[in-house]
A and B are shown apart, each in its own frame.
Chain A
Amino acid sequence: MGFPHKPHARETVVLSQHFGDPEARSYPGWVKRGGYQALRQALAMKPAEVIDVVKESGLRGRGGAGFPTGMKWSFMPKEKSKSHFLCCNADESEPGTFKDREIMRWTPHALIEGCAIAMHAIQAEVGYIYIRGEFTEPIRVMQAALEEAYKEGALGQNALGSGRRLDLWIHRGAGAYICGEETALMNSIEGKRGNPRIRPPFPAQMGVFGMPTTVNNVETITSVPHILNRGAEWYKGLSLSNPKSAGTKLFSICGHVARPGNYEVTVGFPLRELLYDLAGLRPGRTLKAVQPGGSSVPLITRAEAETCLLDYEGCVAAGTQLGSGGMIVYDDTADMVYQIMRLARFYAHESCAQCTQCREGTGWTVRILERILAGKGEMSDLDLLLDLGEQMTGKTICVLSDSCAAPVVSGIKKFRAEFEAYITGARKPALALA
Chain B
Amino acid sequence: VTQTTAEYQPVFTDERRRRLDQILARYPAKRAALLPALWIVQEARGWIADEAMVEVAELLGLTAAYVKGVVTFYTMYHQHPVGRHFIQVCTTTPCNLCGAEGVVAALLQHTGCGELGATSPDGRFTVVEVECLGACGFATPMLIDDDFIEDVTPEKVAGLLQRYQ
Contact = CB atoms under 8 A, between A and B. Distances in A.
Interface of A: 4, 83, 92-98, 101, 126, 132-137, 167, 169, 171-177, 188-194, 209, 211, 252-256, 260-262, 295, 326, 328, 330, 334, 338-339, 342-343, 345-346, 349-350, 352
Interface in B97-146: 97-98, 130-139, 143, 146
Contacts of B143: 134, 136
B92 A342 contact: yes
Nearest to A189: B32
A96 B94 contact: yes
Interface stretch (B8-16, B73-81, B152-160): B73-81
Contacts of A345: 131
A126 B29 CA distance: 13
9 contacts: A97-B134, A98-B138, A174-B39, A175-B77, A189-B32, A260-B139, A295-B132, A328-B94, A342-B91
A191 B135 CA distance: 27
A237 B42 CA distance: 49
A338 B32 CA distance: 40
Interface residues of B, number: 43
A15 B130 CA distance: 29
Interface in B9-47: 26-29, 31-36, 38-39
Interface of B: 26-29, 31-36, 38-39, 60, 62, 69-70, 73-77, 88, 91-94, 96-98, 130-139, 143, 146-148
Contacts of A330: 97
Given A126-B26, A172-B39, 12 more contacts: A95-B93, A174-B75, A177-B131, A189-B32, A190-B31, A191-B29, A252-B137, A255-B93, A260-B139, A262-B137, A346-B92, A352-B73
Contacts of A83: 28
Given A98-B136, A134-B143, A191-B31, A174 B74 contact: yes
Contacts of B32: 189-191, 209
B88 A188 contact: no
Contacts of A133: 39, 74, 76
A174 B131 contact: no
- Of the candidates A126, A135, A191, A193, the one having the most CB atoms from chain B within 10 angstroms of its own CB is A191
A132 B73 contact: no
A103 B165 CA distance: 33
A140 to B, nearest CB: 8
A93 B138 contact: no
